[in-house]
């Protein structure tokens, strides 16, 4: 690899100075238990120290059972009034119960399969019972712990089999004891002072044994700050390295003008801006690494087509990766229209002969426009002369995946397209290694989608309305959070159940779509919907991304409160693509006030960026960017637990550190190591 000599070189981490004590040096952890800890990624005492609880239970004050909400975890000060009794129920299970009072009401303490609890609640004893309130049939507290004092704020750790919360709390206490007064500070004094951060030692103590929620917030902020600072630094380093490395300098002269003639419409000003950005990136002899962010329906595909067109005109192949096969098929049709026989669709389950023919063409040096799913293109064989890679609908495209693409043979230009509008502050941090183009304008003639929250008693009216519209030639999606009833949670309608209900109640052609169908079946059903043969598609969120059926004008979303606002907005974006009036109906059985408030935001605006900002305010960054998808990206649990304040502070601090450019700064050194780790495996492949 002939990357230009970098200012950033690998050095030994100052973090490893401290001798690593194996987790078995904590009292009570033997080899068996250590194995369970290992499955959580915890091998050393230091690992345990920095292991983040996933949540906290508030046992700081006692409540009366009548005040407790159904299902709430609470501490109730009780006096035991009767002897405990254990009875056997079906399947060898036992229930142990004891009568108690909180001074105002009688209640029952219940333990499942803990017959040994029978000896604990002696009649006459007064204590705090901490457990889950169940008020459906009489007042009960389920599986309570009995404590003489209020337990305070109790951390809840992620678990694997073989571990319990009690073991985890013991291990955290053990680790804290061993490192008492010896937890090293990782941030420099100046940064600590400038952003008034809690020292690392205090923060770790507070994470595991918080004294107050206020203290806990400051501790989380401090931990998140450090992780985000490193993350932002790492992205800056990756960006710097890319800028130092070479790339293809495409000849872009006149390309935008000749491409415009091929488009059936006039690009919007925002599309045109993004295309000009792409054009100047591609002309440079540096790899393009650009994110095009634009609301659903804003016309990102045209920007991708422009880049593909320019690559092909320069004699290079281009790959357009889609998240689903349905979307890859759709892209294939578009590519065929523009590039004829140069368009190639890669898909799973191809016959050997077909596969070999395509492989030969990919290696033949012809300039091709290739599409397929991410898995197939990034996992699949070689493509000669690959000059451009585009990832469609991939705001969750991680650092590692981005680095994997840029490491491909000819150092192709990359373009990432995302329909998830992310507030600028957040995207600056998340995508610090990318250039950003925002398409903040919809093509002309779109009517805003009429969005309504439909109360349950109006459900049948809604069905009538839909039936009429569909008989007039419209089409409708109905989306559910679950596939089958067997997965069901109480009060959640599954796609299978809705499909049955609608088939019974409506006299129109309906089909069911979900992720468990075979690829061929999914494709067939999607095609029937696209052609208009099927009028109503009942579906799980597989229709979330990219599908373009302009004739679909109604979107029904069941249990809408279970989706994030950004996701609801995405779903809604499946309709309103033509010039006809479109509707989005949100159904929800939740009577929580915040749920209603969130849904009403959707009714009041169709601006994706506004919706994302509100979502961010209401739920924090974690939900918005999808914590799970980013787990392996170096975005830690702490970052998602944190607030925008920590995000902004960390970004600010990272910018200042980079501007100083002091390579001996331990934080920058650590960020260099992380950046190396992210790209190491890839360079070897
Ligand atoms: P998305 O940004 O969600 O990927 P698409 O690229 O699929 O959006 O575009 C949505 C629809 O709008 C397509 O049918 C496309 O042909 C059409 N479209 C895109 N840009 C324009 C434009 N400037 N004028 C008119 N129609 C457009
Ligand atoms: Mg799209």
Nearest ligand (C-alpha, residue 305):
1
Rounded Cα–Cα distance for residues 136 and 70 (Å): 8
Q: Mind spelling out the 3-state secondary structure of 446-466?
A: CCCCEEEEECHHHHHHHHHHH
Q: Which residue is listed with tokens 């209603």?
A: 596
Sequence-ordered list of residues with C-beta below 8 angstroms from that of 149, at least 6 positions apart, any chain: 128
Distance 547 CA to ligand 2 centre (A): 7
- Which has more pLDDT, 368 or 482? 368
On the question of pLDDT at 19 being above 70, the answer is: no
Place 634 in a pLDDT band, splitting at 50, 70 and 90. low
Rounded Cα–Cα distance for residues 493 and 590 (Å): 13
Nearest ligand (C-alpha, residue 574):
1
Please answer whether residues 500 and 538 qualify as being in contact, where contact means their C-beta atoms are separated by less than 8 angstroms.
no
pLDDT for 580 equals 85
Rounded Cα–Cα distance for residues 350 and 219 (Å): 54
**Side-chain half-sphere of 136: how many Cα atoms within 13 Å?**
5
Report the atom number in ligand 1 closest to the C-alpha of 298: 2
3-state helix, strand and coil shares in percent for the chain, rounded to the nearest 5: 45, 20, 35
Instruction: Give the mutation target among 263, 299, 300 for probing the ligand 1 site: most ligand atoms within 8 A of CB.
Output: 299
Nearest ligand (C-alpha, residue 326):
2
Q: Which residue's alpha carbon is nearest to atom 20 within ligand 1? A: 299
Rounded Cα–Cα distance for residues 183 and 547 (Å): 52
Q: Which residue's alpha carbon is nearest to atom 16 within ligand 1? A: 299
Instruction: Give the mutation target among 263, 294, 301 for probing the ligand 1 site: most ligand atoms within 8 A of CB.
Output: 301
Distance 307 CA to ligand 2 centre (A): 15
**The dihedral sign for the CA sequence 519, 520, 523, 524:** negative
Report the atom number in ligand 1 closest to the C-alpha of 445: 25
Judged by average pLDDT, the poorest of 3-12, 252-261, 496-505 is 3-12
Nearest ligand (C-alpha, residue 323):
2
On the question of pLDDT at 10 being above 60, the answer is: no
Distance 362 CA to ligand 1 centre (A): 29
Q: Per residue in 21-42, pLDDT tens?
A: 899 999 999 999 999 999 988 9
Rounded Cα–Cα distance for residues 133 and 69 (Å): 7
Whether the pTM exceeds 0.75: the reply is no
Distance 477 CA to ligand 1 centre (A): 20
Give the DSSP H/E element, type plus range, for residue 56. Answer: strand 55-59
Highest mean pLDDT among 308-312, 364-368, 654-658: 308-312
Distance 358 CA to ligand 1 centre (A): 30
Rounded Cα–Cα distance for residues 6 and 9 (Å): 7
On the question of pLDDT at 624 being above 90, the answer is: no
Q: Per residue in 230-242, pLDDT tens?
A: 888 888 888 887 8
Judged by average pLDDT, the poorest of 30-39, 166-175, 558-567, 608-617 is 608-617
Q: Which residue's alpha carbon is nearest to atom 9 within ligand 1? A: 299
Q: Per residue in 474-526, pLDDT tens?
A: 999 999 887 665 554 556 678 888 999 999 988 899 999 887 888 788 888 88
Instruction: Give the mutation target among 443, 543, 573 for probing the ligand 1 site: most ligand atoms within 8 A of CB.
Output: 443
Mean pLDDT of the chain: 84
Report the atom number in ligand 1 closest to the C-alpha of 299: 6
User: Both tokens of residue 9?
Assistant: 């070189």
Distance 471 CA to ligand 2 centre (A): 29
Classify residue 421 by its DSSP letter: -
Q: Per residue in 455-473, pLDDT tens?
A: 989 999 999 999 999 999 9
Nearest ligand (C-alpha, residue 300):
1
Report the atom number in ligand 1 closest to the C-alpha of 294: 2
**The dihedral sign for the CA sequence 151, 157, 163, 164:** positive
**Side-chain half-sphere of 248: how many Cα atoms within 13 Å?**
26
Q: Across-strand partners of 515?
A: none
pLDDT for 440 equals 87
Rounded Cα–Cα distance for residues 538 and 510 (Å): 7
Please answer whether residues 563 and 481 qualify as being in contact, where contact means their C-beta atoms are separated by less than 8 angstroms.
yes
Distance 302 CA to ligand 2 centre (A): 9
Place 446 in a pLDDT band, splitting at 50, 70 and 90. confident
Rounded Cα–Cα distance for residues 552 and 349 (Å): 30
Distance 299 CA to ligand 1 centre (A): 4
Rounded Cα–Cα distance for residues 552 and 662 (Å): 56
Tell how far CA 661 is from the center of its chain. Answer: 33
Give, in degrees to the nearest 5, the angle at Cα 326 between 323 and 332.
90
What does the chain come to in residues?
A: 685
Q: Which residue's alpha carbon is nearest to atom 18 within ligand 1? A: 299
Distance 370 CA to ligand 1 centre (A): 20
Report the atom number in ligand 1 closest to the C-alpha of 296: 3
Distance 300 CA to ligand 2 centre (A): 6
pLDDT for 409 equals 67
Backbone angles phi, psi at 477, to 5 degrees: -105, 145
Judged by average pLDDT, the poorest of 11-15, 31-35, 406-410, 576-580 is 11-15
Q: Which residue's alpha carbon is nearest to atom 21 within ligand 1? A: 443
Please answer whether residues 70 and 136 qualify as being in contact, where contact means their C-beta atoms are separated by less than 8 angstroms.
yes
Q: Across-strand partners of 512?
A: 538
588: left (phi over 0), alpha (psi -120 to 50) or beta: beta
Rounded Cα–Cα distance for residues 436 and 235 (Å): 14
Of 471, 535, 546, 530, the closest CA to residue 503 belongs to 535
Report the atom number in ligand 1 closest to the C-alpha of 573: 3
Q: Is 69 exposed, middle or buried (0-12, 13-18, 19+ CB in 10 A)?
A: exposed
Q: Mind spelling out the 3-state secondary structure of 477-530?
A: EEECCECCHHHCCCCCCEHHHHHHHHHHHCCCCEEEECCCCCHHHHHHHHHHHH
Q: Which residues are near ligand 1 (CB < 6 Å)?
A: 265, 267-268, 271, 294, 296-302, 419, 443, 548, 550, 577
pLDDT for 641 equals 56
Rounded Cα–Cα distance for residues 401 and 682 (Å): 9
pLDDT for 234 equals 83
User: Both tokens of residue 143?
Assistant: 């599986």
Sequence-ordered list of residues with C-beta below 8 angstroms from that of 608, at least 6 positions apart, any chain: 295, 296, 419, 420, 421, 566, 569, 573
Report the atom number in ligand 1 closest to the C-alpha of 550: 14
pLDDT for 3 equals 31
Q: Which residue is listed with tokens 């499909």?
A: 499
Rounded Cα–Cα distance for residues 119 and 581 (Å): 68
């Amino acid at each position: 690899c002939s990357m230009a000599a970098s200012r950033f070189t690998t050095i030994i981490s100052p973090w490893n100075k401290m001798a690593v004590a194996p987790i078995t040096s904590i009292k009570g952890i033997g080899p068996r238990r250590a194995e369970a800890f290992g499955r959580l990624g915890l091998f050393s005492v230091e690992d345990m120290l920095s292991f983040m609880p996933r949540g906290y239970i508030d046992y700081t004050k006692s409540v009366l059972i009548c005040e407790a909400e159904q299902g709430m975890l609470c501490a109730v000060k009780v006096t035991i009034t009767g002897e405990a009794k254990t009875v056997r129920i079906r399947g060898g299970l036992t229930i142990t119960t004891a009568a108690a009072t909180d001074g105002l009401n009688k209640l029952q303490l219940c333990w499942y399969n803990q017959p040994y609890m029978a000896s604990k609640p002696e009649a006459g004893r007064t204590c705090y019972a901490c457990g889950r309130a169940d008020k459906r049939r009489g007042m009960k507290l389920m599986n309570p712990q009995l404590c003489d004092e209020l337990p305070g704020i109790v951390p809840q750790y992620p678990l694997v089999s073989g571990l319990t919360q009690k073991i985890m709390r013991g291990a955290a206490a053990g680790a804290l004891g061993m490192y008492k007064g010896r937890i090293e500070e990782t941030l420099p004094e100046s940064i600590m002072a400038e952003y008034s951060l809690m020292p690392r030692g205090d923060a770790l103590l507070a994470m595991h044994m918080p004294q107050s929620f206020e203290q806990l917030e400051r501790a989380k902020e401090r931990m998140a700050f450090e992780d985000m600072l490193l993350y932002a630094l790492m992205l800056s380093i990756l960006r710097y390295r890319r800028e130092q490395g070479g790339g293809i300098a495409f000849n872009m002269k006149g390309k935008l003008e000749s491409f415009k003639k091929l488009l059936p419409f006039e690009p919007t000003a925002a599309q045109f801006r993004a295309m000009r950005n792409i054009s100047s990136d591609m002309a440079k002899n540096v790899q393009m690494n650009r994110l095009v962010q634009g609301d659903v329906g804003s016309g990102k595909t045209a920007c991708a087509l422009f880049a593909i067109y320019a690559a092909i005109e320069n004699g290079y192949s281009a790959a357009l990766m889609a998240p689903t096969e349905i979307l890859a098929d759709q892209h294939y049709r578009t590519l065929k229209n523009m590039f004829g026989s140069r368009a190639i669709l890669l898909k799973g389950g191809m016959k050997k002969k077909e596969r070999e023919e395509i492989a030969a063409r990919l290696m033949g040096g012809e300039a091709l426009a290739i599409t397929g799913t991410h898995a197939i293109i990034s996992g699949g064989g070689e493509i000669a002369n690959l000059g451009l890679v585009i990832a469609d609908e991939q705001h969750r495209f991680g650092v590692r995946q981005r680095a994997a693409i840029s490491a491909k043979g000819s150092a192709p230009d990359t373009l990432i397209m995302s329909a998830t509008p992310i507030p600028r502050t957040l995207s600056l941090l998340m995508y610090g290694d990318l250039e950003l183009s925002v398409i903040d304008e919809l093509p002309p003639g779109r009517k805003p989608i009429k969005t309504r929250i439909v109360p349950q008693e109006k459900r049948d009216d809604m069905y009538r309305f839909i039936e009429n519209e569909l008989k007039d030639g419209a089409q409708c999606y109905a989306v559910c959070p679950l596939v089958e009833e067997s997965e069901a949670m109480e009060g959640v309608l599954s796609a299978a159940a809705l499909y049955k209900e609608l088939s019974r109640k409506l006299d129109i052609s309906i089909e069911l779509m979900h992720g468990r169908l075979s690829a061929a079946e999914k494709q067939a059903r999607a095609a029937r919907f696209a052609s208009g043969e099927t009028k109503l598609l009942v579906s799980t969120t597989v229709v979330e991304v990219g599908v373009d059926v302009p004739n679909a004008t109604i979107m029904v979303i069941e249990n809408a409160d279970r989706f994030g606002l950004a996701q609801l907005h995405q779903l809604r974006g499946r309709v309103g693509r033509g010039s006809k009036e479109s509707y989005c109906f949100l159904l929800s059985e939740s009577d929580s006030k915040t749920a209603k408030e969130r849904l009403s935001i959707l009714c009041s605006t169709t601006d994706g960026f506004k919706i994302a900002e509100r979502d961010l305010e209401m739920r924090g960054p974690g939900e918005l960017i999808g914590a799970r998808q980013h787990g392996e990206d170096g975005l830690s649990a702490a970052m998602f637990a944190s607030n925008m304040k920590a995000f902004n502070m960390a970004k600010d601090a990272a910018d200042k550190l980079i501007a100083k450019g002091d390579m001996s700064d331990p934080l920058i050194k650590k960020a260099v190591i992380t950046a190396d780790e992210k790209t190491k495996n890839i360079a070897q492949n």
